[in-house]
Structure 1
C-alpha cells in the first residue's frame, strides 16, 4: 500500500447490502476494452491526454468519458499541472497499481496462447533473481502450482449470479477474428475480458456451466447475446462445442486447454475485486485448493527462482535488449 497517497485513495469501497457484489463491480469497471487499454498505458507511464490519444485509436469523446469514469472510480487521479490554459494528467493510484497481477497474467496468457500478434510480445524480467521469467500461479497456503480443476469454488455470502453480473453491457467495437490489430492491444484477452457479458460467461464456464440454456438462465442474458459470445469463444479456441451422448438436442460448451489457461487472469481479477470492493455480507466467491484443503488465495511466483513476484520487481524487456542478450549468450 502506498503510504504517500491520500487516505481516500487507499481505502476499499464499502458496498451496500444486497447490491452488486465485488465481482459485479470489478466486471463493470474492467470489463470494458477502453478501460483496460487506458490503464495499461497509464501503468507504463503514459498519463497525459495527448499521449493517450497518440497511443490509442480512440476518439476524443470516448477518451474523455473513460478518464472521467476512471477518476470517479479512483483508478486514476486527475492532477492539474498547468493552469493557463488548464492541462491535467491522470496518475495511477494504489487501486490501479495493484492491478499488476491481472496485467501480468494477461501478458503471459497472450504470449503463450496467441501467436498472431503483429510483433512478438517482449519478455518479462525479474530484478530479484536477474532472469527473464514466466509467472507461475500457486496456492499461497501450500506454495504449490495448481490447475483450475483443483479449485473448488462456491458462492460466498454476497455471491449469486444476479449480484455478480454488472448492470450494463458494453458495446463491442470489433471482433478478434476480423483480423484488426491496434497498438498495445491484447486482442483475444479483449474478446474474453473486454466485454462485460463475455467476462461473466467465462466465469460461468469456470464454475462448470456447459449448457446453452444454463448460460442463458444463470446470467439472465438474452439468447442472441449468449449465442454471440459462445460463437466468439469457439472462434478463438477457449470453448468448444461438445455432444451430449444422452441428450443430442442439448447444446453444450466446454473449456479447452487454452480456455483453462486463462484461469490466472480470473483468479487475479477476483482477488483484486475482493480487496477493493467489500460487501457487508462477506465475499462473493470462496475457493478452496483440493490438494491442501485450504482456502485458496492465488499468488504469482517466478519460474526461475520460485520467489513471490511483486509489481516493482517486474520489468518489460525491450525487444532490442532481448535480442542482444540472446546473441550474447549464443
Structure 2
C-alpha cells in the first residue's frame, strides 16, 4: 500500500495516467497537454516505467523516436481516476464547472459511478463494509514513502484534483484519512496509532475540518474530549479509498497475504469493489466511459 500511495498520491502522476488513458503516448504530447516542466515529466515517466504502469517503446530507429504505452497495471487505474473525478466534481467547489460530465457509451447517458460489490452487485457505502488488518497489515507498512510524494513543476499547488491531493498528497494525510475510515476519531488515537508528531496531527485535523471532510463532535461522556468524525463529504471519499486499496493489493501484494481484509456485511463475502452506471446499473468498463464534452481535452487549457 505504501508503494501505491506513493505513486498515486502525486498529482502529476495521476494527470499523466489520465492523459495516457485518453490516448496520449508521446513525450511531446504529455508536455503539450499538461502544464509540467521537462524535468518533472521525465522523472514521472521514468517512475511509471520502473513501476510497470507504462512501457517505453521505440517505434523508429533513425532518428530514435519512442512512445509510452499503458501496461495492464497502468490501464487498471481508470476506476480510481473515475472515482476521483466524481468526488471532486460533486464535493469540491467549482469543480463541477471545470470537470466534464461522463458518458456511458452502452446506454448513451451521462452518469455517475456507483460503488458496488462484485459478489452480489449491490451498491455499497462505507457503513456496509467491515475492515480488519490482514497478515501484512500495519500502520507503519501502509504509510506512503515521503520521497516519492513531493509535487513540483510550474505550479506550486495541486490545481486539477486539489482536495484529493490534500488527502493522498503526503504520507501523514493519507494515513489519517485511512485511520478515520477505520474508526479512529480522537487526537491521541491518531497520534498513537500513526506515531505522528502532535503538531502534524493538529495541522492535518485542522485542514480536514476546514475542507469539510471531518467535523468536530463533543464526546458524550467526557466534556473535555473532542472527536473528529467523517462528514458526508468525507464518507463519500470511500470509493476512492477502496479502489486504491484494491489496486494496491492486486499489483503490490505481499507474499504474507493482504494488508487489509474487507467483508461486505450484507452478503458476508470478501468485498471486492466494482463500479456500476447510475443510469443503467451495468458494470462499468474503462473503454465504455468517455468525457461527454471536450472541456477537459487539454490540461493546458
Q: Same fold (TM over 0.5)?
A: yes
Q: 1:125 to 1:253 in 2, by over 3 A?
A: same
Tell me the secondary structure at the aligned position of residue 114 of structure 2: strand
- The residue that corresponds to 2:254 in the other structure is 279
Indicate the larger mover: 69-78 or 237-246.
237-246
Q: Give yes or no for the alignment of 1:58 onto 2:33.
A: no
Indicate the larger mover: 254-263 or 237-246.
237-246
2:264 aligns with one of 289, 302, 316: 289
CA distance in 2 between counterparts of 1:230 and 1:271 reads 26
- The residue that corresponds to 1:106 in the other structure is 84
| TM superposition shift of 1:181 | 7.3
CA RMSD of aligned residues (A): 2.3
Q: Give yes or no for the alignment of 1:205 onto 2:205.
A: no
Structure 1 residue runs of 4 or more that deviate by more than 6 Å after TM superposition: none
Tell me the secondary structure at the aligned position of residue 88 of structure 1: strand
Once the two structures are superposed, what CA deviation does each residue of 1:86-126 show, in whole Å capped at 9, x if it has no partner? 44322211101011110111111112112323834222111
TM-score by length of 1: 0.81
Residue pair 1:118, 1:181 contacting (<8 A) in 2 also? no
Indicate the larger mover: 255-264 or 216-225.
216-225
- The residue that corresponds to 2:57 in the other structure is 79
Once the two structures are superposed, what CA deviation does each residue of 1:168-197 show, in whole Å capped at 9, x if it has no partner? 2533569xxx9x774xx1222121123333
Residue pair 2:158, 2:165 contacting (<8 A) in 1 also? no
| TM superposition shift of 1:80 | 2.5
CA distance in 2 between counterparts of 1:251 and 1:171 reads 32
- Aligned pairs, number: 292
Q: Where in structure 1 are there 5+ consecutive unaligned residues? A: 1-22, 321-330
Residue pair 1:28, 1:168 contacting (<8 A) in 2 also? yes
CA distance in 1 between counterparts of 2:54 and 2:140 reads 28
Q: Where in structure 2 are there 5+ consecutive unaligned residues? A: 296-301
- The residue that corresponds to 1:13 in the other structure is none
Q: Give yes or no for the alignment of 1:171 onto 2:150.
A: yes
CA distance in 1 between counterparts of 2:178 and 2:218 reads 21
| TM superposition shift of 1:148 | 0.4
